[in-house]
Amino acid sequence: MSDKAMRIVLGGVRGSTPVSHPDFIRFGGATTCVLVDSGARGQILIDGGSGLRTVEPMMAPPEPDPPLLMLFTHYHIDHLIGLPFFAPFYDPQRSVIFAAPPCGGTTPESAIGQLMNKTFWPVPFRAAHRFELLPTECGEPLRHGPFDVRWCPVRHANGCFAYRVDERDSGASMAFATDVEMGSASADEKDALLNLCRVPKNLDVLIMEGHCDSVARPGWGHSTWQETVAFARAAGVSRLFITHLAPEDDDATLAEREQRVRAAMPQARLGRQGMVIPWSKTMS
């Protein structure tokens, strides 16, 4: 598959809780899930919110190698709620790796084990799967198919991680940073996220949360869109997509906000459920 066929799919861009209402159709009501897709050459899912239902029909058929890689930023329920309903996890032809650094004292294996406990969900996964515990501090990148994966911790209640994915052949790069409270982040945390966006080169695509409008709420674990735009400009990213949209913000509110976002940074926009972002070095 050529680099022109690579894509990023925003399965869900809503934060905290799914929303279902006619006033929330344009931007969507599903919670966080991102697909980084190079077709049969490799696929990565980041987070398992209800947006998994959106990306499911868009995924390539199962291949023996490489397996599907699923990364977790953290284990709050809005980022896990779609896992039990995701059909590929019940496909015995699938192979899946669940991976993340330890976060809030929890590992991918323990988090999924609790979620899929028969008390809460009676059907076990049937796909061949294994768990990989990544180191808290990323040294060498995780190599997965055509991708190199890097990560760093970000400021959020009980912890959270941002991920960067580079496609080696094309040089295309993207990062996903959700549930980041920039207003209370330490200098070291801000520097680590900047470094993730700049090394080995400046990002082509940054997908980052901007839950709040104008006024941050200390302790909520989220940033204003203004903080997100300021960070993206400082990081020198080519394109910014703002996600983790507040569940109370309807389409009219978000459409007006997007005008302000684009006035502040023309290469920025709000994410939408089901949005497909062509991803290649030539798109920068």
d(CA 52, CA 81): 9
Task: Tell me if 226 sits within 8 A of 216, measured CB to CB.
Answer: no
Distance of CA 170 to the CA centre of its chain: 21
What average pLDDT values come out for the chain (284 residues) when binned by 10 residues? 71 96 97 92 96 94 88 96 96 96 94 94 94 95 96 92 95 96 92 97 96 73 90 96 96 97 97 94 51
Give the global pTM. Answer: 0.95
d(CA 255, CA 205): 21
What is the reported pLDDT for 2?
A: 40
What is the reported pLDDT for 198?
A: 96
Walk across the sheet containing 268-270 and list its strands: 142-144, 147-154, 160-167, 173-177, 205-209, 239-243, 268-270
What is the reported pLDDT for 219?
A: 62
Among residues 175, 195, 178, 180, the alpha carbon closest in space to that of 239 is found at: 175
Task: Tell me if 86 sits within 8 A of 51, measured CB to CB.
Answer: no
Residue-by-residue DSSP string for 49-68: STTHHHHGGGSPPP-SSSPE
What is the reported pLDDT for 254?
A: 97
Among residues 152, 105, 102, the alpha carbon closest in space to that of 132 is found at: 102
What is the reported pLDDT for 64?
A: 75
The domains located in the chain, with CATH, are: 3-279 (3.60.15.10)
What is the reported pLDDT for 216?
A: 67
d(CA 261, CA 241): 10
Walk across the sheet containing 68-71 and list its strands: 128-133, 95-100, 68-71, 43-46, 33-37, 7-12, 275-278
